[in-house]
Structure 1
Protein backbone atom coordinates (compact mmCIF):
# COMPACT_ATOMS: atom_id res chain seq x y z
CA UNK A 1 0.00 0.00 0.00
CA UNK A 2 1.65 3.26 -1.07
CA UNK A 3 1.51 6.98 -0.27
CA UNK A 4 -1.04 6.63 2.51
CA UNK A 5 0.26 9.64 4.47
CA UNK A 6 -0.68 12.86 2.74
CA UNK A 7 1.40 16.01 3.02
CA UNK A 8 -0.08 18.97 4.86
CA UNK A 9 -0.85 22.02 2.71
CA UNK A 10 2.16 24.24 2.11
CA UNK A 11 4.15 22.00 4.42
CA UNK A 12 7.31 19.93 3.97
CA UNK A 13 7.50 17.21 1.33
CA UNK A 14 5.43 14.02 1.80
CA UNK A 15 7.02 11.45 4.07
CA UNK A 16 8.22 9.19 1.30
CA UNK A 17 9.95 12.08 -0.49
CA UNK A 18 11.76 13.80 2.37
CA UNK A 19 15.52 13.44 2.35
CA UNK A 20 18.64 15.15 3.53
CA UNK A 21 21.86 15.77 1.69
CA UNK A 22 23.65 13.05 3.63
CA UNK A 23 21.15 10.19 3.84
CA UNK A 24 17.43 9.48 3.40
CA UNK A 25 15.19 10.38 6.30
CA UNK A 26 13.18 7.43 7.54
CA UNK A 27 9.39 7.96 7.39
CA UNK A 28 8.99 7.81 11.16
CA UNK A 29 11.71 10.39 11.70
CA UNK A 30 10.15 12.66 9.07
CA UNK A 31 7.03 12.89 11.21
CA UNK A 32 8.93 15.29 13.44
CA UNK A 33 8.40 17.95 10.76
CA UNK A 34 4.73 18.03 11.78
CA UNK A 35 5.29 18.19 15.54
CA UNK A 36 4.20 21.82 15.75
CA UNK A 37 0.92 21.27 13.91
CA UNK A 38 -1.91 20.95 16.46
CA UNK A 39 -4.19 19.36 13.87
CA UNK A 40 -1.72 16.65 12.86
CA UNK A 41 -2.61 13.26 14.41
CA UNK A 42 0.78 11.69 15.03
CA UNK A 43 -0.59 8.34 16.21
CA UNK A 44 -2.55 7.88 12.97
CA UNK A 45 0.48 8.88 10.93
CA UNK A 46 2.66 6.34 12.76
CA UNK A 47 0.13 3.62 12.03
CA UNK A 48 0.12 4.50 8.33
CA UNK A 49 3.92 4.51 8.26
CA UNK A 50 3.92 0.99 9.71
CA UNK A 51 1.39 -0.17 7.10
CA UNK A 52 3.44 1.34 4.27
CA UNK A 53 6.55 -0.51 5.47
CA UNK A 54 5.15 -3.85 4.29
CA UNK A 55 6.05 -4.61 0.68
CA UNK A 56 5.88 -7.64 -1.65
CA UNK A 57 9.58 -8.12 -0.90
CA UNK A 58 9.04 -7.90 2.87
CA UNK A 59 5.51 -9.15 3.57
CA UNK A 60 6.44 -10.38 7.06
CA UNK A 61 8.52 -8.49 9.62
CA UNK A 62 9.25 -8.45 13.32
CA UNK A 63 8.82 -5.42 15.54
CA UNK A 64 12.57 -4.85 15.43
CA UNK A 65 12.68 -4.99 11.63
CA UNK A 66 9.74 -2.61 11.35
CA UNK A 67 11.40 -0.23 13.79
CA UNK A 68 14.57 -0.18 11.68
CA UNK A 69 12.65 0.28 8.44
CA UNK A 70 10.37 3.07 9.66
CA UNK A 71 12.59 4.93 12.12
CA UNK A 72 9.89 4.59 14.80
CA UNK A 73 10.71 3.33 18.26
CA UNK A 74 10.01 -0.31 19.06
CA UNK A 75 7.39 0.82 21.57
CA UNK A 76 5.59 2.91 18.95
CA UNK A 77 5.69 0.07 16.42
CA UNK A 78 4.37 -2.35 19.04
CA UNK A 79 1.41 -0.09 19.83
CA UNK A 80 0.62 0.37 16.14
CA UNK A 81 0.71 -3.36 15.52
CA UNK A 82 -1.35 -4.07 18.62
CA UNK A 83 -4.06 -1.75 17.30
CA UNK A 84 -3.90 -3.15 13.75
CA UNK A 85 -4.15 -6.71 15.06
CA UNK A 86 -7.11 -5.87 17.31
CA UNK A 87 -8.92 -4.29 14.34
CA UNK A 88 -8.15 -7.24 12.05
CA UNK A 89 -5.82 -5.38 9.67
CA UNK A 90 -2.68 -7.30 10.72
CA UNK A 91 -1.67 -10.57 12.35
CA UNK A 92 1.39 -12.44 13.56
CA UNK A 93 2.70 -15.99 13.30
CA UNK A 94 4.27 -18.07 16.07
CA UNK A 95 7.65 -16.39 15.47
CA UNK A 96 6.05 -12.96 16.05
CA UNK A 97 6.50 -11.94 12.45
CA UNK A 98 3.73 -9.54 11.52
CA UNK A 99 1.93 -9.26 8.18
CA UNK A 100 -1.07 -7.44 6.78
CA UNK A 101 -4.41 -9.24 6.60
CA UNK A 102 -7.07 -9.31 3.85
CA UNK A 103 -9.18 -6.78 5.74
CA UNK A 104 -6.70 -4.22 4.43
CA UNK A 105 -8.54 -4.57 1.10
CA UNK A 106 -11.49 -2.73 2.61
CA UNK A 107 -9.37 0.41 2.49
CA UNK A 108 -8.79 -0.14 -1.22
CA UNK A 109 -12.50 -0.74 -1.72
CA UNK A 110 -13.21 2.55 0.03
CA UNK A 111 -10.89 4.24 -2.46
CA UNK A 112 -12.62 2.69 -5.46
CA UNK A 113 -16.02 3.64 -4.07
CA UNK A 114 -14.94 7.28 -3.91
CA UNK A 115 -12.94 7.28 -7.16
CA UNK A 116 -14.46 9.24 -10.04
CA UNK A 117 -12.92 6.86 -12.56
CA UNK A 118 -14.12 3.72 -10.74
CA UNK A 119 -17.62 5.12 -10.28
CA UNK A 120 -17.81 6.13 -13.93
CA UNK A 121 -16.39 2.84 -15.19
CA UNK A 122 -18.71 0.39 -13.45
CA UNK A 123 -21.97 1.29 -15.27
CA UNK A 124 -20.13 1.43 -18.59
CA UNK A 125 -18.74 -2.07 -18.07
CA UNK A 126 -22.13 -3.37 -16.97
CA UNK A 127 -23.72 -1.98 -20.12
CA UNK A 128 -21.04 -3.65 -22.26
CA UNK A 129 -21.48 -6.98 -20.48
CA UNK A 130 -25.22 -6.81 -21.01
CA UNK A 131 -24.69 -6.20 -24.72
CA UNK A 132 -21.89 -8.69 -25.41
CA UNK A 133 -22.29 -11.24 -22.60
CA UNK A 134 -18.56 -11.03 -21.85
CA UNK A 135 -16.35 -9.98 -18.93
CA UNK A 136 -14.89 -6.46 -18.97
CA UNK A 137 -12.50 -4.70 -16.59
CA UNK A 138 -10.79 -1.38 -15.86
CA UNK A 139 -7.40 -1.28 -14.15
CA UNK A 140 -4.60 1.08 -13.21
CA UNK A 141 -0.87 0.54 -12.73
CA UNK A 142 0.63 0.20 -9.25
CA UNK A 143 4.34 -0.58 -9.30
CA UNK A 144 4.88 -3.81 -11.21
CA UNK A 145 1.23 -4.86 -11.06
CA UNK A 146 -2.14 -3.82 -12.36
CA UNK A 147 -4.99 -3.23 -9.91
CA UNK A 148 -8.62 -3.78 -10.87
CA UNK A 149 -10.78 -0.77 -10.02
CA UNK A 150 -13.94 -1.86 -11.87
CA UNK A 151 -15.08 -5.21 -13.24
CA UNK A 152 -18.04 -7.17 -14.54
CA UNK A 153 -18.04 -10.96 -14.83
CA UNK A 154 -20.34 -12.96 -17.07
CA UNK A 155 -18.37 -16.21 -16.92
CA UNK A 156 -15.36 -17.40 -14.93
CA UNK A 157 -12.49 -16.82 -17.36
CA UNK A 158 -9.57 -17.47 -14.99
CA UNK A 159 -8.73 -20.04 -12.36
CA UNK A 160 -8.36 -17.22 -9.82
CA UNK A 161 -11.37 -15.19 -8.70
CA UNK A 162 -10.77 -11.66 -9.98
CA UNK A 163 -12.54 -8.77 -8.28
CA UNK A 164 -12.07 -5.09 -7.55
CA UNK A 165 -8.72 -4.79 -5.79
CA UNK A 166 -7.23 -7.89 -7.45
CA UNK A 167 -3.67 -7.55 -8.70
CA UNK A 168 -1.91 -9.21 -11.64
CA UNK A 169 1.59 -8.85 -13.11
CA UNK A 170 1.79 -6.04 -15.63
CA UNK A 171 4.35 -7.44 -18.03
CA UNK A 172 2.32 -10.41 -19.29
CA UNK A 173 -1.26 -9.09 -19.22
CA UNK A 174 -2.98 -7.00 -21.87
CA UNK A 175 -3.97 -4.24 -19.42
CA UNK A 176 -0.48 -4.13 -17.96
CA UNK A 177 1.12 -3.82 -21.36
CA UNK A 178 -1.11 -0.92 -22.32
CA UNK A 179 -0.19 0.92 -19.13
CA UNK A 180 3.52 0.13 -19.57
CA UNK A 181 3.59 1.07 -23.25
CA UNK A 182 2.48 4.64 -22.50
CA UNK A 183 4.83 5.26 -19.59
CA UNK A 184 7.46 8.01 -19.97
CA UNK A 185 10.69 6.41 -21.14
CA UNK A 186 12.56 6.89 -17.86
CA UNK A 187 9.76 5.25 -15.89
CA UNK A 188 9.62 2.33 -18.30
CA UNK A 189 13.37 1.83 -18.02
CA UNK A 190 13.09 1.83 -14.24
CA UNK A 191 10.33 -0.78 -14.47
CA UNK A 192 12.34 -3.01 -16.80
CA UNK A 193 15.47 -2.72 -14.68
CA UNK A 194 13.78 -4.22 -11.63
CA UNK A 195 11.44 -6.61 -13.49
CA UNK A 196 11.77 -10.31 -12.72
CA UNK A 197 10.38 -12.33 -15.62
CA UNK A 198 8.23 -15.23 -14.43
CA UNK A 199 7.31 -18.03 -16.82
CA UNK A 200 3.60 -18.41 -16.03
CA UNK A 201 2.87 -20.46 -19.17
CA UNK A 202 4.93 -21.73 -22.12
CA UNK A 203 3.76 -18.62 -24.02
CA UNK A 204 4.91 -16.03 -21.46
CA UNK A 205 7.40 -13.54 -22.87
CA UNK A 206 10.83 -14.64 -21.70
CA UNK A 207 13.13 -11.71 -22.43
CA UNK A 208 13.11 -8.00 -21.76
CA UNK A 209 14.10 -7.24 -25.34
CA UNK A 210 11.03 -9.09 -26.61
CA UNK A 211 8.93 -7.19 -24.11
CA UNK A 212 10.35 -3.87 -25.34
CA UNK A 213 9.35 -4.77 -28.90
CA UNK A 214 5.87 -5.82 -27.77
CA UNK A 215 5.37 -2.55 -25.92
CA UNK A 216 6.47 -0.51 -28.94
CA UNK A 217 3.89 -2.36 -31.03
CA UNK A 218 1.21 -1.76 -28.39
CA UNK A 219 1.85 1.97 -28.48
CA UNK A 220 1.89 2.05 -32.26
CA UNK A 221 -1.32 0.01 -32.61
CA UNK A 222 -3.16 1.59 -29.68
CA UNK A 223 -4.11 -1.71 -28.07
CA UNK A 224 -2.61 -4.86 -26.51
CA UNK A 225 -3.59 -8.44 -27.22
CA UNK A 226 -2.36 -11.22 -24.92
CA UNK A 227 -2.70 -14.86 -25.88
CA UNK A 228 -2.40 -17.25 -22.94
CA UNK A 229 0.70 -15.65 -21.41
CA UNK A 230 -0.58 -15.42 -17.85
CA UNK A 231 -2.89 -18.44 -17.87
CA UNK A 232 -3.36 -21.22 -20.41
CA UNK A 233 -6.70 -20.82 -22.17
CA UNK A 234 -7.07 -17.09 -21.45
CA UNK A 235 -7.01 -14.39 -24.11
CA UNK A 236 -7.49 -10.69 -23.50
CA UNK A 237 -7.45 -7.38 -25.32
CA UNK A 238 -7.05 -3.91 -23.77
CA UNK A 239 -7.04 -0.26 -24.83
CA UNK A 240 -5.79 2.91 -23.08
CA UNK A 241 -7.87 5.48 -21.21
CA UNK A 242 -6.41 8.97 -21.68
CA UNK A 243 -6.65 11.81 -19.19
CA UNK A 244 -7.11 15.41 -20.32
CA UNK A 245 -3.34 15.99 -20.32
CA UNK A 246 -2.77 13.11 -22.74
CA UNK A 247 -1.45 10.77 -20.07
CA UNK A 248 -2.76 7.20 -19.95
CA UNK A 249 -4.17 6.64 -16.47
CA UNK A 250 -6.16 3.43 -16.91
CA UNK A 251 -7.08 0.70 -19.35
CA UNK A 252 -10.25 -1.14 -20.39
CA UNK A 253 -10.11 -4.80 -21.29
CA UNK A 254 -12.07 -7.83 -22.41
CA UNK A 255 -11.00 -11.32 -21.38
CA UNK A 256 -12.33 -14.65 -22.56
CA UNK A 257 -11.63 -18.33 -23.12
CA UNK A 258 -9.26 -18.90 -26.02
CA UNK A 259 -11.15 -21.88 -27.54
CA UNK A 260 -14.29 -19.80 -28.16
CA UNK A 261 -12.70 -16.42 -28.83
CA UNK A 262 -10.43 -16.33 -31.91
CA UNK A 263 -7.80 -13.60 -32.06
CA UNK A 264 -9.32 -12.05 -35.17
CA UNK A 265 -12.74 -11.80 -33.55
CA UNK A 266 -11.25 -10.02 -30.55
CA UNK A 267 -9.77 -7.41 -32.86
CA UNK A 268 -12.68 -6.97 -35.27
CA UNK A 269 -15.69 -7.39 -32.97
CA UNK A 270 -14.49 -6.07 -29.62
CA UNK A 271 -11.82 -3.46 -30.34
CA UNK A 272 -14.30 -0.76 -31.49
CA UNK A 273 -16.57 -0.99 -28.39
CA UNK A 274 -13.53 -1.08 -26.10
CA UNK A 275 -12.22 2.11 -27.68
CA UNK A 276 -15.64 3.71 -27.39
CA UNK A 277 -15.77 2.84 -23.69
CA UNK A 278 -12.27 4.24 -23.17
CA UNK A 279 -13.27 7.50 -24.88
CA UNK A 280 -16.36 7.72 -22.70
CA UNK A 281 -14.26 7.25 -19.58
CA UNK A 282 -11.78 9.89 -20.72
CA UNK A 283 -14.52 12.51 -20.50
CA UNK A 284 -14.63 12.04 -16.71
CA UNK A 285 -10.89 12.78 -16.48
CA UNK A 286 -11.00 16.23 -18.09
Structure 2
Protein backbone atom coordinates (compact mmCIF):
# COMPACT_ATOMS: atom_id res chain seq x y z
CA UNK A 1 0.00 0.00 0.00
CA UNK A 2 1.31 3.43 -0.97
CA UNK A 3 1.08 5.84 1.95
CA UNK A 4 0.94 9.60 1.64
CA UNK A 5 3.20 11.71 3.85
CA UNK A 6 1.87 14.63 5.88
CA UNK A 7 4.34 17.47 6.42
CA UNK A 8 3.81 18.74 9.97
CA UNK A 9 3.31 22.43 10.74
CA UNK A 10 6.06 22.27 13.37
CA UNK A 11 8.86 19.86 14.26
CA UNK A 12 8.21 17.68 17.30
CA UNK A 13 10.75 15.83 19.47
CA UNK A 14 11.40 12.20 18.58
CA UNK A 15 10.35 10.98 22.03
CA UNK A 16 6.89 12.54 21.59
CA UNK A 17 5.87 10.14 18.83
CA UNK A 18 6.13 6.42 18.12
CA UNK A 19 5.26 3.97 15.38
CA UNK A 20 1.96 2.33 16.21
CA UNK A 21 0.55 5.35 18.00
CA UNK A 22 -3.19 5.70 17.49
CA UNK A 23 -3.98 9.39 17.23
CA UNK A 24 -7.16 11.46 17.03
CA UNK A 25 -5.71 14.36 15.01
CA UNK A 26 -3.09 13.71 12.29
CA UNK A 27 -1.93 17.33 12.41
CA UNK A 28 -1.01 16.96 16.10
CA UNK A 29 0.27 13.40 16.55
CA UNK A 30 1.78 14.20 19.95
CA UNK A 31 -1.67 15.03 21.38
CA UNK A 32 -4.54 12.69 22.35
CA UNK A 33 -2.96 9.37 21.39
CA UNK A 34 -2.94 5.75 22.52
CA UNK A 35 0.04 3.36 22.41
CA UNK A 36 -0.45 -0.40 22.88
CA UNK A 37 1.56 -1.81 25.78
CA UNK A 38 3.43 -4.39 23.69
CA UNK A 39 4.87 -1.60 21.51
CA UNK A 40 7.10 -0.55 24.40
CA UNK A 41 9.13 -3.79 24.37
CA UNK A 42 11.84 -2.19 22.19
CA UNK A 43 14.37 -3.59 19.74
CA UNK A 44 17.93 -4.80 20.15
CA UNK A 45 19.70 -1.93 18.37
CA UNK A 46 17.87 0.69 20.41
CA UNK A 47 17.08 2.73 17.32
CA UNK A 48 13.34 2.51 17.88
CA UNK A 49 11.02 1.49 20.68
CA UNK A 50 8.92 -0.59 18.31
CA UNK A 51 9.88 -4.19 17.54
CA UNK A 52 8.16 -4.06 14.14
CA UNK A 53 10.13 -1.07 12.87
CA UNK A 54 12.49 -0.66 9.94
CA UNK A 55 14.83 2.28 9.41
CA UNK A 56 16.09 3.91 6.22
CA UNK A 57 18.85 6.53 6.43
CA UNK A 58 19.28 9.43 4.02
CA UNK A 59 22.62 11.06 4.74
CA UNK A 60 22.07 14.45 3.11
CA UNK A 61 18.70 16.14 3.58
CA UNK A 62 19.77 19.04 1.36
CA UNK A 63 19.26 16.69 -1.60
CA UNK A 64 15.65 16.25 -0.52
CA UNK A 65 15.16 20.01 -0.43
CA UNK A 66 16.61 20.40 -3.92
CA UNK A 67 13.86 18.17 -5.32
CA UNK A 68 11.23 20.67 -4.14
CA UNK A 69 12.80 23.78 -5.67
CA UNK A 70 10.24 26.11 -7.22
CA UNK A 71 7.23 24.37 -5.65
CA UNK A 72 4.83 25.35 -2.89
CA UNK A 73 6.20 22.43 -0.93
CA UNK A 74 9.57 24.20 -0.77
CA UNK A 75 7.89 27.14 0.98
CA UNK A 76 6.19 24.81 3.47
CA UNK A 77 9.49 23.11 4.26
CA UNK A 78 11.05 26.52 4.68
CA UNK A 79 8.38 27.59 7.15
CA UNK A 80 8.77 24.32 9.05
CA UNK A 81 12.55 24.54 9.38
CA UNK A 82 13.04 28.29 9.71
CA UNK A 83 11.39 28.57 13.12
CA UNK A 84 8.76 31.05 12.04
CA UNK A 85 10.65 33.42 9.79
CA UNK A 86 8.48 36.51 9.49
CA UNK A 87 8.82 36.74 5.71
CA UNK A 88 9.84 33.29 4.43
CA UNK A 89 9.71 34.28 0.76
CA UNK A 90 12.72 36.51 1.48
CA UNK A 91 14.76 33.74 3.07
CA UNK A 92 17.35 31.38 1.63
CA UNK A 93 17.57 28.02 3.43
CA UNK A 94 20.31 25.45 3.59
CA UNK A 95 20.26 22.31 5.73
CA UNK A 96 23.67 20.71 6.15
CA UNK A 97 25.41 18.03 8.22
CA UNK A 98 22.08 16.39 8.84
CA UNK A 99 20.81 12.84 8.89
CA UNK A 100 17.31 12.07 7.66
CA UNK A 101 15.83 8.83 8.99
CA UNK A 102 12.61 7.20 7.76
CA UNK A 103 10.94 5.06 10.44
CA UNK A 104 8.50 2.51 9.02
CA UNK A 105 6.06 -0.04 10.48
CA UNK A 106 6.65 -3.41 8.79
CA UNK A 107 3.12 -4.84 8.76
CA UNK A 108 0.58 -2.28 9.90
CA UNK A 109 -2.44 -4.58 9.53
CA UNK A 110 -0.95 -7.35 11.67
CA UNK A 111 0.24 -4.75 14.15
CA UNK A 112 -3.25 -3.27 14.48
CA UNK A 113 -4.85 -6.70 14.89
CA UNK A 114 -2.49 -7.42 17.78
CA UNK A 115 -3.05 -3.98 19.26
CA UNK A 116 -6.80 -4.53 19.41
CA UNK A 117 -6.25 -7.39 21.87
CA UNK A 118 -5.29 -4.69 24.37
CA UNK A 119 -8.28 -3.64 26.48
CA UNK A 120 -6.97 -0.08 26.80
CA UNK A 121 -6.69 0.21 23.00
CA UNK A 122 -10.25 -0.99 22.50
CA UNK A 123 -11.50 1.45 25.09
CA UNK A 124 -9.67 4.35 23.39
CA UNK A 125 -10.89 3.36 19.92
CA UNK A 126 -14.45 3.06 21.14
CA UNK A 127 -14.39 6.57 22.60
CA UNK A 128 -13.22 7.87 19.22
CA UNK A 129 -15.93 5.94 17.37
CA UNK A 130 -18.68 7.27 19.62
CA UNK A 131 -17.72 10.93 19.18
CA UNK A 132 -19.57 12.84 16.40
CA UNK A 133 -17.47 13.14 13.23
CA UNK A 134 -14.58 11.49 15.02
CA UNK A 135 -11.82 9.56 13.32
CA UNK A 136 -8.65 7.80 14.37
CA UNK A 137 -5.34 7.22 12.61
CA UNK A 138 -2.54 4.69 12.93
CA UNK A 139 1.01 6.04 12.61
CA UNK A 140 2.72 3.77 10.08
CA UNK A 141 5.84 5.84 9.46
CA UNK A 142 7.55 9.14 10.11
CA UNK A 143 10.62 11.09 9.00
CA UNK A 144 13.16 12.77 11.24
CA UNK A 145 16.20 15.03 11.06
CA UNK A 146 19.04 14.45 13.52
CA UNK A 147 21.30 17.29 14.71
CA UNK A 148 20.38 19.35 11.66
CA UNK A 149 22.49 22.43 10.99
CA UNK A 150 20.15 25.01 9.50
CA UNK A 151 21.53 28.13 7.85
CA UNK A 152 19.18 30.98 6.98
CA UNK A 153 19.89 34.14 5.02
CA UNK A 154 17.27 36.91 5.37
CA UNK A 155 17.15 39.43 2.52
CA UNK A 156 15.96 42.92 3.38
CA UNK A 157 15.30 45.92 1.16
CA UNK A 158 15.77 49.37 2.65
CA UNK A 159 14.02 51.90 0.43
CA UNK A 160 14.52 55.66 0.75
CA UNK A 161 11.86 57.63 -1.11
CA UNK A 162 12.19 61.25 -2.26
CA UNK A 163 9.09 62.72 -3.80
CA UNK A 164 8.73 66.52 -3.61
CA UNK A 165 9.70 69.79 -5.26
CA UNK A 166 13.32 70.19 -4.22
CA UNK A 167 16.45 71.60 -5.85
CA UNK A 168 17.46 69.39 -8.72
CA UNK A 169 21.09 69.38 -7.64
CA UNK A 170 20.16 67.88 -4.28
CA UNK A 171 18.24 65.04 -5.89
CA UNK A 172 20.98 64.41 -8.43
CA UNK A 173 23.64 64.32 -5.77
CA UNK A 174 21.68 62.00 -3.49
CA UNK A 175 20.54 59.58 -6.15
CA UNK A 176 23.46 59.72 -8.56
CA UNK A 177 20.99 60.19 -11.40
CA UNK A 178 21.79 62.53 -14.36
CA UNK A 179 19.20 65.17 -15.09
CA UNK A 180 18.15 66.37 -18.59
CA UNK A 181 18.57 70.03 -17.52
CA UNK A 182 21.67 71.93 -16.45
CA UNK A 183 22.24 71.94 -12.71
CA UNK A 184 22.97 75.69 -12.76
CA UNK A 185 19.64 76.60 -14.33
CA UNK A 186 18.33 77.66 -10.96
CA UNK A 187 15.17 75.65 -11.48
CA UNK A 188 13.63 73.38 -8.94
CA UNK A 189 11.90 70.29 -10.26
CA UNK A 190 9.27 67.95 -8.95
CA UNK A 191 10.88 64.55 -8.92
CA UNK A 192 10.52 61.19 -7.30
CA UNK A 193 13.58 59.08 -6.64
CA UNK A 194 13.86 55.77 -4.76
CA UNK A 195 17.14 54.54 -3.37
CA UNK A 196 17.27 50.79 -2.81
CA UNK A 197 19.77 49.19 -0.51
CA UNK A 198 19.86 45.46 0.12
CA UNK A 199 21.03 44.01 3.40
CA UNK A 200 21.57 40.43 4.47
CA UNK A 201 21.10 38.83 7.85
CA UNK A 202 22.63 35.42 8.46
CA UNK A 203 21.23 33.09 11.06
CA UNK A 204 22.48 29.63 11.88
CA UNK A 205 21.36 27.10 14.46
CA UNK A 206 21.54 23.40 15.19
CA UNK A 207 18.37 21.49 16.05
CA UNK A 208 19.87 19.16 18.63
CA UNK A 209 18.63 15.58 18.68
CA UNK A 210 16.12 13.85 16.46
CA UNK A 211 13.13 15.94 15.32
CA UNK A 212 10.05 14.59 13.52
CA UNK A 213 8.92 16.68 10.53
CA UNK A 214 6.59 14.34 8.55
CA UNK A 215 4.24 11.44 9.35
CA UNK A 216 2.48 8.64 7.43
CA UNK A 217 -0.94 7.39 8.53
CA UNK A 218 -3.62 4.80 7.84
CA UNK A 219 -7.17 5.76 8.72
CA UNK A 220 -9.14 3.55 11.09
CA UNK A 221 -12.60 2.69 9.82
CA UNK A 222 -15.34 2.05 12.41
CA UNK A 223 -18.54 0.06 12.08
CA UNK A 224 -21.20 -0.23 14.79
CA UNK A 225 -23.56 -3.18 15.07
CA UNK A 226 -25.90 -4.95 17.49
CA UNK A 227 -24.44 -7.99 19.24
CA UNK A 228 -28.00 -9.25 19.69
CA UNK A 229 -28.27 -9.76 15.94
CA UNK A 230 -24.99 -11.66 15.37
CA UNK A 231 -23.65 -14.98 16.61
CA UNK A 232 -20.58 -15.58 18.72
CA UNK A 233 -18.49 -16.63 15.72
CA UNK A 234 -18.93 -13.18 14.19
CA UNK A 235 -17.50 -11.52 17.28
CA UNK A 236 -14.53 -13.88 17.34
CA UNK A 237 -13.38 -12.96 13.84
CA UNK A 238 -11.59 -9.70 13.19
CA UNK A 239 -11.33 -6.69 15.47
CA UNK A 240 -14.86 -6.82 16.83
CA UNK A 241 -15.95 -6.56 20.44
CA UNK A 242 -18.90 -5.74 22.63
CA UNK A 243 -19.00 -2.10 23.68
CA UNK A 244 -17.47 -1.45 27.08
CA UNK A 245 -19.20 1.91 27.33
CA UNK A 246 -22.67 0.55 26.52
CA UNK A 247 -22.15 -2.47 28.78
CA UNK A 248 -21.34 -0.25 31.77
CA UNK A 249 -24.17 2.21 31.07
CA UNK A 250 -26.82 -0.50 30.51
CA UNK A 251 -26.04 -2.75 33.47
CA UNK A 252 -29.30 -4.11 34.86
CA UNK A 253 -31.29 -2.87 31.85
CA UNK A 254 -32.85 -4.78 28.97
CA UNK A 255 -31.07 -3.80 25.75
CA UNK A 256 -32.95 -3.20 22.51
CA UNK A 257 -32.14 -5.81 19.87
CA UNK A 258 -31.28 -3.04 17.39
CA UNK A 259 -29.04 -1.10 19.76
CA UNK A 260 -25.49 -0.75 18.46
CA UNK A 261 -23.52 -2.18 21.37
CA UNK A 262 -20.84 -3.78 19.16
CA UNK A 263 -17.89 -2.13 17.43
CA UNK A 264 -15.53 -3.11 14.63
CA UNK A 265 -12.28 -1.30 13.88
CA UNK A 266 -10.30 -1.87 10.68
CA UNK A 267 -7.18 -0.17 9.29
CA UNK A 268 -8.19 1.43 6.00
CA UNK A 269 -6.51 3.50 3.28
CA UNK A 270 -3.84 6.11 3.69
CA UNK A 271 -4.54 9.63 4.91
CA UNK A 272 -5.75 11.72 1.97
CA UNK A 273 -6.09 15.41 1.18
CA UNK A 274 -9.86 15.33 1.73
CA UNK A 275 -9.31 14.11 5.31
CA UNK A 276 -7.64 17.41 6.23
CA UNK A 277 -9.18 20.81 6.83
CA UNK A 278 -9.01 23.59 4.26
CA UNK A 279 -5.63 25.13 3.61
CA UNK A 280 -3.82 21.94 2.57
CA UNK A 281 -2.51 20.87 -0.81
CA UNK A 282 -0.64 17.88 -2.23
CA UNK A 283 2.24 17.26 -4.61
CA UNK A 284 3.98 14.13 -5.87
CA UNK A 285 7.75 13.92 -5.36
CA UNK A 286 9.55 10.81 -6.66
CA UNK A 287 6.30 8.84 -6.61
CA UNK A 288 5.42 9.90 -3.05
CA UNK A 289 2.35 12.03 -2.34
CA UNK A 290 3.22 14.86 0.06
CA UNK A 291 0.42 16.66 1.92
CA UNK A 292 1.33 20.10 3.25
CA UNK A 293 -0.20 23.25 4.69
CA UNK A 294 -0.34 26.23 2.34
CA UNK A 295 -1.48 28.90 4.79
Higher RCO (C-alpha under 8 Å, 6+ residues apart): 2
The two structures have a TM-score, normalised by structure 1, of 0.19
The two structures have a TM-score, normalised by structure 2, of 0.19
Higher-helix-fraction structure: 1
